[in-house]
Amino acid sequence: MGIIQAEPANIEELKIKANTKDNWETRLAAVNELANYDCQKSRYILTKLASSDRVFAVKEAAFNAAQAMGVTKKGLPLVAKRKDIGYSSKDFAKVFKRVKRDTQMEELDLAVFKKQFQIVSPEMYDVMQYEEQEKFDLWISASYANLS
C-alpha cells in the first residue's frame, strides 16, 4: 500500500497520541499510522517527532516516514541525529531523591517507587522503560542504591 495523499479522518486523535509523553508505544503506533498519509499535519507531526522524541524507536520511525514523504526542514533534508535520551545522571538522581522523599522510603519498595516515579516524571519513566526494557527494575534498584 502506498502513501495516501490526504488527511486521515482521525488526524486529531493521531495528533493526541503522537503528543503522549508517557507511552512510547502509543506514539510509535501513531507514527506508523501517520506514515500512510501525506498531508501538512502528518508531515508536521512526523518532523517534530523525528527531531525531538527521546525514545529512539519513535524518533527513527518518524524520521523514516518523513524521509519517505520527502519532508525537508528549511529546504534541507532531515538529518538523523544520534541516539540521545536527553537525561543525565544528575537528572535521574534529582527525580529519584524526590520520589524517595515523597514516599518517605527508607528501604526500596519497587512497586511503590515505580508508581510514584511514574507520577513525578512520566516522560522519564517512559523513556527509561523503553531503554532498559526487561532490565528496568534492576536499573531502578541500582540507581536507588547509588543515591547519596
pLDDT band for position 6 (50/70/90)?
very high
pLDDT band for position 79 (50/70/90)?
confident
Look at the block and give the residue holding cell 508536521: 44
- Per-residue model confidence (pLDDT) at position 69: 93
CB 18 within 8 A of CB 65: no
Of the chain, the percentage scoring pLDDT greater than 90 comes to: 84
Three-class DSSP category at 88 = coil
What residue segments make up the domains of the chain, in order of their start?
Answer: 11-77, 89-145
Average the pLDDT over 48-62 and give the result: 94
- pTM for this entry: 0.85
With a cut of 90, say whether residue 63 has pLDDT above it.
yes
With a cut of 70, say whether residue 52 has pLDDT above it.
yes
With a cut of 70, say whether residue 148 has pLDDT above it.
no
Longest dimension (CA), the chain: 57
pLDDT band for position 1 (50/70/90)?
low
Cβ neighbours of residue 143 closer than 8 Å, sequence gap 6 or more: 92, 93, 96
Note the pLDDT tens digit of each residue in 95-147: 999 999 999 998 999 999 999 999 999 999 999 999 999 999 999 999 999 98
